[in-house]
Chains A and B, each alone.
Chain A
Amino acid sequence: MARAVSTRRKIGFTVAAWVVALLIFFPILYTIITSFKSETEAIAGFSLVPSGTLESYAEVQAQSNYFKFFLNSVVIAVGSTILALLIAIPAAWSMAFSPTKRTKDILMWMLSTKMMPAVAVLVPIYLIFRDANLLDTRIGLTVMLMLINLPIVVWMLYTYFREIPGEILEAARMDGATLWGEIVHVLTPMAVPGIASTMLLNIILAWNEAFWTIRLTTTNAAPLTAFIASFSSPQGLFWAKLSAASTLAIAPILIMGWFSQRQLVRGLTFGAVK
């Protein structure tokens, strides 16, 4: 009897999980389906069966150089992530293993910077970028995205590092490990799942960041967010083309997420169950 209830519950949870997953994924799925429709089909109403035309993809490629935007996205997302990890790992180590009475306040302050609407600092940031000749440069955007995502990276790493027993680090010190050796040879290997998931999440956040990437670039450093934005129009129906552009823009990150899902889930649930 108990077994039957348990099986039923398991089936119920599985069905619920699939329903939730499909609900979350459906907008992406419908975007992909719409990209294989003609513009007339796209506005004709809800339909899950496209004609399979590739005309939108052809027009998107003819109108814009996808690979130029793609390359910029890769450089900016990966660059900002590496930079953020280089800064965040020592910071999180310090806060996790040598906390002071102000550590919590510092963490909260870092997080509070994410609560401010980005547009509030648009003009000062734009002026700084202008004066530093960083407008429309990959370096400028890499630094900007690193700064934007740094609080989240520090927070995530801090949470992972807190799960690592301090005694292990003490033992390493007893064995003569230097601070650098402690971080590189002891802490980092133990926190690999956490660092990997932080890295993947940060790449996704940087890849999808649209506010600054559109506003601080024009042609040279414009990433895929600017590529999508160029197909949006308030006057004229370009839904199929917009969907094709969106599909091309999200495809690399979706594929990356698919192949690294085990690491992502492992990292995100790291220390969740004790």
Chain B
Amino acid sequence: MKLNTLFLGLCGASALAFAAHAETITIATVNNGDMVRMQKLTDDFTAKNPDIQLEWVTLEENVLRERVTTDIATKGGQYDVMTIGTYEVPIWAKQQWLLPLDNLGADYDAADIIPAIAGGLSADGKLYAAPFYGESSFVMYRKDLMEKAGLTMPDAPTWDFIADAARKMTDRAADINGICLRGKAGWGENMAFLTAMSNSFGARWFDEKWQPQFDQPEWKKTLQFYVDLMKDAGPSGASSNGFNENLALFQQGKCGMWIDATVAASFVSNPKDSTVADKVGYALAPDTGLGKRGNWLWAWSLGIPAGTQKAEAAQKFVSWATGKGYLDLVASKEGWANVPPGTRTSLYNNPEYQKAAPFAKMTLDSINSADPTKPTVKPVPYVGVQFVAIPEFQGLGTTVGQLFSAALAGQSSVDDALAGAQTAAVREMTRAGYIK
């Protein structure tokens, strides 16, 4: 008895002494299903790396962005791993705020990362953040309503087809809107959608000399098309709708079509939450025949701030969280349908994943069709499909988003919204020194 007690005491003391020497890394992350799942699975990491403890800070996307930007810009040193998007990576890499990820281990297989995603997370040929989850956007539609309208959705529709189908599927008496699109103002809200859409109409934010282009006919066509379509076939109060609002509408059977993030496919096809789970079809984002589709490219990825004192431990964690082994771990615990999508080519070649995720091929095709380095029909001086990777874009994008949201709500005309956007963009770009 006494020996047992002594043994247990020694074990406890050893554990305490060990815990005192374990290195703790702090990870800032967003609250989405995949990240929450990862937090539940971290026992696997700590079992493999007993000398590293993990602390999580989960925040809403915009708050997280502000927090980590403040911290990294002031070298606050509060985080060792940061969840950042394709917007931040090129800007932060240029500022030398991130460490290049060149020590992820021999079995990491960086070449397996989907090229379009890797391109968005690299600068000067070096990977500065490892993708944890990637997405594009595509069309999700109700097969039953499409059939009822007497139409067949092609794999690669045009905007004219989408508009025609949306108007035919609309049934106000039955509370069915032909199409649900983002209208809530914000650079990551309506402007993510509208910027990607404008690419397919031949528009661009800036010409090669950083002159704003909202006074060009391509933007007029884009915005007029969007406002008219939403007026005829969109839900009421669409100017307040973002991803979550449209997701709720679609899941309740109130949308004929919804063009949004590919990650939504796993939500709308989940019978636990969606009333239309067995009726959803998928198609590529529409085009106008100019060579670019209206889909975006985004990846939540893990980056390591240059000021961290725990770079080695942080790299080990990034390697674990974004490696092939993690995908297998999720599949073994929660099934292939719950594996974080959009990062590795090998996942899309996996027959088990293809079987579990019927939207897999369309997701990969959508991701592959987006090119952040050549996002538009005409040449541009910037990187980014649904954003412009410059620090000024967050503020400017939201200002323009507010003007476009007002046009959707009928508070201003399309012409006035575009004129306001042009004035705001010229002012901001001049102030920031892009326009001499």
Do A and B truly interact?
Answer: yes
Q: Contact at A219–B55, with CB atoms within 8 Å?
A: yes
Of A25-33, A80-88, A231-239, the stretch lying at the interface with chain B is A231-239
Interface size class of A (residues with CB under 8 A): 20 to 34
Q: Contact at A234–B242, with CB atoms within 8 Å?
A: yes
Q: Contact at B242–A218, with CB atoms within 8 Å?
A: no
Q: Which chain A residues lie closer than 8 Å to B75 at the CB level?
A: 130
Among residues of B, the one whose C-beta sits closest to the C-beta of A232 is B60
Q: Contact at A230–B59, with CB atoms within 8 Å?
A: yes
If A222-B57, A236-B33 touch, whether A123 touches B74 (CB-CB below 8 Å) is: yes
* Residue A135 at the chain B interface, CB threshold 8 Å: yes
If A43-B251, A215-B67 touch, whether A63 touches B36 (CB-CB below 8 Å) is: yes
Q: Contact at B59–A236, with CB atoms within 8 Å?
A: no
CB distance from A232 to the nearest CB of B (A): 4
Interface size class of B (residues with CB under 8 A): 35 or more
A127 to B58, CA, bound (A): 22
Among residues of B, the one whose C-beta sits closest to the C-beta of A228 is B60
* Residue A229 at the chain B interface, CB threshold 8 Å: yes
Interface of B is mostly: mixed
Q: Contact at B60–A215, with CB atoms within 8 Å?
A: no
The interface bits of chain B over 340-356 (1 if a CB of A lies within 8 angstroms of the residue's CB, else 0) are 00000000000000000
Among residues of A, the one whose C-beta sits closest to the C-beta of B266 is A236
Q: Which chain A residues lie closer than 8 Å to B77 at the CB level?
A: 130
Q: Contact at B243–A40, with CB atoms within 8 Å?
A: no
* Residue B103 at the chain A interface, CB threshold 8 Å: no
A63 to B56, CA, bound (A): 10
* Residue A44 at the chain B interface, CB threshold 8 Å: yes
Q: Which of B31, B32, B59, B244 contacts A214 (CB 8 A)?
A: B59
Q: Could you list 20 further interchain pairs (A-B, Cβ under 8 angstroms) beyond the known A235-B61, A236-B244, A237-B267?
A: A45-B252, A62-B40, A63-B36, A122-B70, A123-B70, A126-B71, A130-B77, A135-B76, A136-B78, A214-B59, A218-B26, A218-B55, A229-B60, A230-B57, A232-B60, A234-B61, A235-B243, A236-B32, A236-B247, A236-B267
Q: Which residues does A use to contact B, with CB under 8 Å?
A: 39-40, 43-45, 62-64, 122-123, 126-127, 130, 135-136, 214-215, 218-219, 222, 226, 229-238
Q: Which residues does B use to contact A, with CB under 8 Å?
A: 26, 28, 30-33, 36, 39-40, 55-63, 66-67, 70-71, 73-79, 188, 242-244, 247-248, 251-252, 261, 263, 267, 272-273
